[in-house]
Every structure is written in C-alpha cells, then in structure tokens.
Chain A
Amino acid sequence: MISLGSYLAISFALFVCGILVMIARKNIIAMLLGIELILNASALNFAAYTKFVNNNLDGHILSLFIIVIAAAEASVGLGIVIRFFQLRESIHIDDAATLQN
C-alpha cells in the first residue's frame, strides 16, 4: 500500500487541486493558497522518489529547499498583496489589469 505509485497519486491529486484553486478563484490570497498546494505536491514527489528509488537523502534536501523557498515567496507575495490593497482598495485579480490592452 505504501509504494511509489501511491505517493505519486497523492502528489498528483494535490497538484491538480492547486491548479483548480489557482484558476477558479479570483481573490489573490486564495490563489496564493493554491500555490502552496502546488509546491507541497512537488516536495512530496521529491521525497517519495528519493525513498523508493534512490534510497539516499538528496530528495530530502530538495524538499527542504522547496519549503524554504515557499516560505520566502509567500511572505513577499503577501507583502505585494498588502501594498496592492493599500493602493487599490481591493484584492480582486481583475483590478490588477492596468497593463492589459
């Protein structure tokens, strides 16, 4: 039951859920939640491969760095969202379309 296939299936489900969240939602913070799901799916993938195929620790190092980068990106992204809110009074993604057309 615990095998590479099951872990890949779980990370695949997480990834698809992340894509669904990112496209269906129009709230910027909700889209950031989707980004976290996608990053977690990839980190889980790395850890599963390194356990079942390679049996060393390289995948764990990669997953650690993914967690670090996700935290940094979440903080900067939320800083941008807060600044955007201070300027535009809304966090709807369609209000960030000034460069369009």
Chain B
Amino acid sequence: MNSTVVTYLSQSKEFTNTVAWLSKALGFDATSMVAFIIFAIGALIVVGALATIGGLGTYAERKISADLQMRQGPNRVGPYGILQFLADGVKMILKEDIIPAQADKFTFILAPFLCMIGVFATLAVVPFSSGLMLTDINVGVFYLVGMASLVGVGVFLGGYSSNSKWSMLGGMRGASQIISYEIPATITIVSMVLIAGGLSFKTLINGQGGLPHEWYILHNPFAFIGFFVYFIAALAETNRAPFDLPEAESELVSGYHTEYSGMRFGLFALAEYIEVFVVCGVAVALFLGGYKVPFDLGSGHIFTEKLGLDSMLAQNIGQLLELGAFFTKTLALYYVVIWVRWTLPRLRVDQLMTLCWKYLTPIALFNLLGMAVWMYAFDGRSIFSLIFNSAVSAAGHH
C-alpha cells in the first residue's frame, strides 16, 4: 500500500481510539470511513492553504515588483497591505459576469474550471512532508505531469470560446507554448528519475539528504544543468514571464482571458499562481532535497532519544520541521520566479519556440544520455562521494 496521510496518522493512539469508538457506535468496521473523512479534511485543508498561498502570491508579486522598482506597493489594506488579495477577491466577485453573445457558452464556462481542475489535481501528490503528504502514489511525478497538461486544454478553450481575434491568437500561442515546453521538462524529470530509481516522490526525496551536498542538484554536472533546464521549461509552461506572450498586457490586450470578467478571470489567475507554486515544489523535490531537514531532524528519532519525548509527538515535531524546510525552499524559488518576471524582457513568439526546440530539447536529451552514462560508469554515486572516496584512498596509500 502507498503511504498516505492516513497511514501516518494511524500510528497515533487517537486514531485507533476513534476507529474503535465509531465501530462500536455504527456496527461495522469504521476504518475506511475514518480514512475517507481524514482524506476529505486533508484535501480541504490543502486546497484552502494553497488558495491562500495563491492569493498571497499576487500580493507578494506586487510588493516585490515595487521593491525592484523603488516604489511602495500596496500598503493600505491591513498591516503592510497584506489583506490586499482579499480586497482584490471581493472586487472580482462583485464584478458583472459577462458572457459574449456569440461565445460558445459551454466551453466558455468550462475553460477556467479545466485550468483549476488541472492544477488542484496535482496537489494530491505534492510532497509537503513525509507524513502529511496527501498520498504518495507510485507514479507520482508522471501523474503530476499528466494533470498539468490539462491546463493547456483550458487555455486553448478559453481562447477559442471567446470568439474574438485577440483571444484566439492568445489561446493558440498559449497552448502551443505549453505543449512545446512540456518536452524538455518531462525529459529532465526522467533523467532525475534515473538517479532515484522510482517515480514516486518519496523515492525521489529519500535519495537525497538534508545538507546541500546531498541534494541531487550537486549530484553530478548533468543534474546541475538539468535544474536550469527544468526551471526554464516549467516557467514557460506556466505562462509566466518572460514567456507570458499569451497574456501579454501590452500586445494582445490580455490574450486568452480578454473576454473573461470577474470571478472567471480570477479562477484563471489563481490557477496560474498555484501552478507556479506546484512547479517550484516539484523543482524542490527533484533537485533541492524536498522536505529533508539537515542532520536528519525530520524523522523525530533524535527527539525520542535525546529528549525522551513520546514517539508520536516527536514524529509530529519532525513533520513540522519538514514542512518548514519544504515551504522555505519553495518560497525561495517562488521569489526567484517573481524576480525573473520583473527583470527580463518578454520573448517573441518565434524566439520562444526557437528556445524550446533548438536549445532546451537537445540539451535535455544530452542530459538524459549523460546521466545514464554517469549512472552506469560510476555506479550512481554522486560527485562528492567520488571525491571523498578518492581522497580517502589516496590518503590511505601514503
């Protein structure tokens, strides 16, 4: 069985007590019902938390861009303007919901929901921490890539259904950009799967350690190049600057979501911000050690041995530390994404396609080959272990 939130929580006494009490009260074995309820509550918590992070992402973007441009940014609504995203949300909900008369109503309404479904379905496998991850299916990374490609369908439908020239152009450009950049991203993910030996996120993260020299990014030079290829490809996949031609404000009058107003537009924007978070989370899990805390603090064993705490409590503290590590790394990458947006100019459509097909895809393929050769030649050891071992053996000879 896969390890899920339920298998983690089932180690605690409260879980077994609750199950026993419910079984007595209802007459049948209540394990699966309690599991279902825990999954439902967990899913609600994750969705709520990430929607808030998406909203705060808009606030963070405005503040960071203001900082880069030497101005203030929002500072009126709430302390330091932090409630700005709530004000934006209220504004969007109160706007009039306009559907163009010639638009294809079914696809017009469906497109933002397809984007949202694609992004929220990936949240089920994002590795927040080893125990509190919603589920750890054996094909985790593959499933995430598959669900993220639903966003492309949503973008295309948004462009098509609005029945206007700007939207159609923006939709086609956006969809072709998304499907083109899926290729170097997936090839890089496959080359990292080669090191780890499995597609599940736990396998990928357990192969890394807490300290930077144990991360996969410093495992061998191909992984290092792979990180940058994946980062660029994933930025382009989320339609994020400098690849945001489909929604270019100065050129296409906002591209594929021109005709969307109010909350429908809000759904598109929220899906984009949450997708950036998920993509950063995947990059952290693949390359930067995921949720691993340095010195193995995340497993809670040190707390049980040194401080003599109860096993479940020690594990919970370890989980909190792992959550903190994951969020710190992911939010650091999120900051880099926002920083890149306000620093680099936008790429033209042909430059975009050239970058993908003539540069990133060959580099990703070369990476895959190099990674396979490295794993065969050096038995899968990282460059640090090779240097240390050769230093030790050289010292031993003298």
- Assess A/B contact in the complex (Cβ within 8 A): no
